[in-house]
Amino acid sequence: MKLLAISDTYIPADFMRDGLSGLRDLGIDVEVRHWGHDSLIDLQQDNLAIETGGSGAVELSETITQNLQPFDIVVVQFAPISRSFIEKAKNLKLIGVLRGGAENIDVEYATQREISVMNTPGRNARAVAECTIGMILAEVRNIARSHASLKSNSWQRSFPNSEAIPELCGKTVGLIGYGAVGHLVAGYLNAFESRIIAYDPYFAGDPGPVKLVSLEHLMKNSDIISIHARLTKESYHLIGEKELAMMKKNAVLVNTARSGLVDERALVRVLEEKMIAGAALDVFDEEPLPADHPFIRLENTTITAHLTGSTIDSFRNSPKMMAGHLRNCLTGCKNIPIINNIKSSLKAEQGRQ
């Protein structure tokens, strides 16, 4: 059984090899090919093109797509697996993507070909959750703004929210999306003694310290709103002009998920008119952020360059998590994160488990 792993700038070849090496005892031979970029910015631009234009928006080089016929399994992080790729991989039975989403996979065509598509839920959840708390604190406590002013030799003590700088204790924080990231953020906020509410129409189970509410209730009653939902056709611009108008005047919006979840133009207007206190954003409709973008000149925003999920631990652990899912899949275990309901026909080779 042969597995092709396509590494990239974030998850290099040695991370792939190390993380997937434990599959040898199941009879899986791993080959790694690298999707190269000159910089992280170049990779992020390709990622954005794929997220907006689909898996066919960016083509892989011939060195990656040649001789795909022998492979039963393909594992990627950001590399696009398009219809043409799948057509060349005649024996492909399973695609593993080292992300929660699968925007870079032609899932529809894979399903037509009865190829299982498996994701890696929660693979960088802790990285995003930890950074989200940092983004909240940076915005409400003016950490980034104070740092920037001191670097410019200015001892600044007056900020847009100076009359009402809050503490997290006792404040209501609304989480839009209560999956792996939302759960971790809730745990951290619970330690701050915040009141936590969440909107997630897909959540089922025990919400723990969180009260599940409607989106309207959350928008109207939260002091801080943090977005952790998946971007789908249904959730595109989930937070638009109508929802933003519901927010408290002293509330803050935080987005470390996907820019498409928020109507960016509407958010700019709300911030310019100071209808809310501020926003902390790690994702944008256009990346890198243009030099003349309003977010750069606005005083009531904290902005970072799409970095919340980027930690050495999340990138190193992602192939290990996928190896665990593949092992469970090949040995007949349940609770496999297959996202297209195609059960894999692959089985571990006898005598090598």
- Looking at residue 262, the DSSP 8-state letter turns out to be B
Query: 125-303 belongs to which homologous superfamily?
Result: NAD(P)-binding Rossmann-like Domain (3.40.50.720)
The angle, 0 to 180 degrees and rounded to 10, between the axes of the packed helices 13-20 and 312-330 is 40
pLDDT interval class at 351 (50, 70, 90): very low
Task: Give mean pLDDT, residues 215-219.
Answer: 98
| Residues annotated as catalytic (active site), given as ranges | 258, 287, 306
pLDDT of 239 over the 90 cut = yes
pLDDT interval class at 292 (50, 70, 90): very high
Task: Give mean pLDDT, residues 260-288.
Answer: 96
The angle, 0 to 180 degrees and rounded to 10, between the axes of the packed helices 125-140 and 143-151 is 70
Predicted confidence (pLDDT) per residue in 158-173, tens digit: 998 989 999 999 999 9
Contact partners, residue 219, CB within 8 Å, separation at least 6 = 174, 225, 239, 243, 244, 246, 247
Q: Report whether 348 contacts 26 (CB < 8 A).
A: yes
Contact partners, residue 136, CB within 8 Å, separation at least 6 = 168, 173, 224, 226, 252, 254, 280
Task: Give mean pLDDT, residues 111-136.
Answer: 96
For strands 278-281 and 252-255, give the pairing: parallel
> For residue 111, which amino acid is it?
T
Q: What is the pLDDT, as a whole number, of residue 344?
A: 87
Query: Hey, CA dihedral for 32, 35, 39, 40, is it positive or negative?
Result: negative
Q: Report whether 48 contacts 21 (CB < 8 A).
A: no
* % of residues, the chain, pLDDT over 90: 87
* % of residues, the chain, pLDDT over 70: 99
Q: What is the pLDDT, as a whole number, of residue 170?
A: 97
pLDDT of 190 over the 80 cut = yes
User: Do 2-121+311-330 and 125-303 agree at the fold level?
Assistant: yes
152 token code pair: 């410019």
* Burial class (CB within 10 angstroms; exposed 0-12, middle 13-18, buried 19+) of 67: exposed
Average per-residue pLDDT in the chain? 94
Q: According to CATH, what is the number of the domain 2-121+311-330? A: 3.40.50.720
Q: What is the pLDDT, as a whole number, of residue 272?
A: 97
Nearest to 267 by CA among 240, 249, 293: 240
Domain ranges of the chain: 2-121+311-330, 125-303
28 token code pair: 């899986």
pLDDT of 25 over the 70 cut = yes
Q: What is the pLDDT, as a whole number, of residue 353?
A: 44
List, as own/partner pairs, every contact residues 83-87 make where C-beta atoms lie below 8 angstroms and the sequence separation is at least 24, other chains included: 83/55, 83/56, 83/109, 84/56, 85/60, 86/110, 86/113, 86/115
Q: What is the pLDDT, as a whole number, of residue 48?
A: 86
pLDDT interval class at 335 (50, 70, 90): confident
Output phi, psi for 60, to 5 deg: -85, 155
